[in-house]
Chain A
Amino acid sequence: EAQVTQNPRYLITVTGKKLTVTCSQNMNHEYMSWYRQDPGLGLRQIYYSMNVEVTDKGDVPEGYKVSRKEKRNFPLILESPSPNQTSLYFCASSPKPPYEQYFGPGTRLTVT
């Protein structure tokens, strides 16, 4: 089954404790992205990757890091999480634009 998986689905952590949210896709897509969803703001792109070792900032990259060492994986790293990063996070993948983006199931992150 073609899918994007994310882990963990739920995470509660404390300010300053480094964390990683994993994302993996099995569709051999070149493009992958991370979005955060906040009430009233919809989803906003954090980072994207056009292929292995090629990443760039989206609209709201501050406080986040990403890496793309393998085509299928695109982890999101918060090196020093803060409460304003409490949000719902989505990973997405797609073939070259402008094709449909396939979203993962979301990760609910709470930073206290």
Chain B
Amino acid sequence: AQTVTQSQPEMSVQEAETVTLSCTYDTSESNYYLFWYKQPPSRQMILVIRQEAYKQQNATENRFSVNFQKAAKSFSLKISDSQLGDTAMYFCAFMNRFNAGNMLTFGGGTRLMVKP
């Protein structure tokens, strides 16, 4: 079974600054995917970024980028030029490529507050 750990329950950052959210995971699988989801106060789950384990290049989406360290089983999210709208709960998630149920295994979440 896989586990996902987010060691920072809460973080804060000043507007326009950069913040990094940590995520580690444990798996014996070699073919998997990693995700970061954002959950704003509206509770909607929004996909931020996705990384395929077989790709060495770190994924980026505009101001969002990841640092994927496969050997260390680490998958951190960097948010550059933080905006007030980035205030949300952020979840790291793992999916085994061959999981029959397409199941996402989530970490416990990091609450991020962007301060003006």
Interface size on B, residues (CB 8 A): 23
- Report yes or no: B102 in contact with A103, Cβ–Cβ below 8 A: no
Tell me whether A97 and B109 are in contact in the complex, defined as CB-CB below 8 angstroms, given that A42-B91, A103-B45, A105-B44 are known contacts: no
8 Å CB interface, A86-100 against B? 88, 90, 92, 94, 96-98, 100
- Report yes or no: B102 in contact with A42, Cβ–Cβ below 8 A: no
If over half of A's interface residues share one DSSP class (helix, strand or loop), that class is named, otherwise mixed; here it is strand
Partner of B95, one of A58, A96, A97: A97
Given A33-B101, A88-B43, 11 new contacts (CB under 8 A): A31-B101, A41-B106, A45-B101, A58-B103, A94-B102, A101-B47, A103-B44, A105-B42, A105-B43, A105-B44, A106-B45
- Report yes or no: B104 in contact with A43, Cβ–Cβ below 8 A: yes
* Chain A, interface residues (CB within 8 Å), range: 20 to 34
Chain A residues positioned under 8 Å from B100 (CB to CB): 50, 56
- Report yes or no: A42 in contact with B107, Cβ–Cβ below 8 A: yes
Chain B residues positioned under 8 Å from A33 (CB to CB): 101-103
The chain A residues found within 8 Å of chain B, CB to CB, are 31, 33, 35, 40-45, 48, 50, 56, 58-59, 88, 90, 92, 94, 96-98, 100-101, 103, 105-106
Chain B residues positioned under 8 Å from A50 (CB to CB): 100-101
Nearest A residue to B98 by beta-carbon distance? Answer: A97
B97 CB–A CB distance under 8 Å: yes
Which of A58, A92, A101 gathers most chain B CB within 10 Å?
Answer: A101
